[in-house]
Amino acid sequence: MQEVKFLDLHHQYLSIKEDIDDAMSNVMRTSAYIGGKYIEQFEKNFSAYLGTNHCIGVGNGTDALEIALWSLNMSEGSEVIVPANSFIASSEAVSRCGYKVVFADIDENYLLDVDKLSTLISEKTAAIMVVHLYGQAVNMKTVMDIAKAHNLKVIEDCAQAHGAEYKGQKVGSFGDIATFSFYPGKNLGAYGDGGAIVTLDVALAEKCRAYSNHGRTSKFSHEIEGRNSRLDGLQAAVLDVKLKSLPLWIEKRNRVADYYLKHIDQNKFILPKRDMASSHVWHLFVLRHNSRDEICEYMKSKGIGMGIHYPQALPNLRAYEKHPQDCSQYRACKWDKTLFSIPIGEHLREDEIRYIVETLNAF
Ligand SMILES: *Cc1c(COP(=O)(O)O)cnc(C)c1O
């Protein structure tokens, strides 16, 4: 039986092995483990790629969100709007900073429903968190217009959308501040945990830099208390190598998505839609069907790796059992039983892509 992996990090490593091995041994030769040349180089290259002036490497994508939210200096108890369909890190970071989560519903593309955004804004609302989920950019024009009209901050969670664009502009460069995750399975992944904060605002950048490094302004000068969350040299060196391949990997993901969109039976499955204003980097290819669990079992029995993103919308999680908002009528809270993800990535061969489609259509 054919085996098709959902994610194949070893395959990716082999395709860039020489450069990765060199980069890692350079770090070890110079002992540049924390701070130093490799982190500076990656921060510079990543912000240049995105078109943001500042990049601060941190320990992971969740810390990036927490530190970014902290730097916005909103009053305790402020409300932050968060989409109901995301990974828990998005809402977790809001609560950890002492703010209140207000869940927003999703649209047909599984992204923050910008048409209903205004109905969620109260006197206490201080910020909107957008999540460019599955690799697709949110309609940032509308979000920024609403934010401006209500004097709200905007934070972009770009953990799944390295390189995605809205009207030709890369995500991470729209809001006040934006965050990335380099968890190994992300489109740009480290060999361990990693994350970054990016912004065009020099004052926010300086705050985040200090917050993530014990409030330091120099080695033993601490004007405030911060915390310790840094991207290390080895991860930065790996990421700097991988960043060069990212545009090609995005192109390959798009080719797979094109094939899926053309050949998967639209009468059987609800396919993702392409939004013409935004470029998609296809971190995940997510479909809907009422017999989701049977499909996943069946596909796995045919050797195909499957995923569910996410099995429970955030308001449906145990962690939010006592959350004051009733979100039961949200699309996000009903659709979570029907979502499933098929493999997508630069590792897939043509015969594997055909096999996935043939198998799925035969369900
Ligand atoms: C992965 C992810 C995060 C968290 O990143 P970590 O590096 O795992 O902490 C945050 N938000 C979203 C949408 C993610 O997918």
Specify the pLDDT at position 308. Answer: 98
Specify the pLDDT at position 275. Answer: 84
With CA atoms as reference, report the closest residue to 313 among 105, 161, 155, 135: 105
Q: Looking at ligand 1, which atom is closest to the CA of residue 181?
A: 7
Q: Which two tokens stand for residue 353?
A: 């892509």
Q: Are strands 79-83 and 100-104 parallel, antiparallel or unpaired?
A: parallel
Residue whose CA is at the smallest distance from ligand 1 atom 7? 61
Specify the pLDDT at position 238. Answer: 98
Q: Are strands 221-222 and 216-218 parallel, antiparallel or unpaired?
A: antiparallel
Rounded CA gap, 36 and 17, in Å?
Answer: 23
Q: 29 C-alpha to center of ligand 1: Å?
A: 31
Specify the pLDDT at position 156. Answer: 98
Model confidence, pTM? 0.97
Q: 30 C-alpha to center of ligand 1: Å?
A: 31
Specify the pLDDT at position 217. Answer: 85
> Does the Cβ of 314 fall within 6 Å of ligand 1?
no
pLDDT tens digits, one per residue of 166-217: 999 999 999 999 999 999 999 999 999 999 999 999 999 999 999 999 999 8
Q: 193 C-alpha to center of ligand 1: Å?
A: 10
> Does the Cβ of 89 fall within 6 Å of ligand 1?
yes
Report how far apart the first and last C-alpha atoms of the chain are (Å, whole number).
Answer: 17
Specify the pLDDT at position 2. Answer: 87
Residues 198, 50: contact at Cβ < 8 Å? yes
Q: 186 C-alpha to center of ligand 1: Å?
A: 9
Which parts of the chain have pLDDT scores under 70? none
> Does the Cβ of 156 fall within 6 Å of ligand 1?
no
DSSP-assigned letters across all residues of 255-302: HHHHHHHHHS-TTTSB-----TTEEB--S-EEEE-TTHHHHHHHHHHT
A 10 A CB-CB count for 307 gives 19
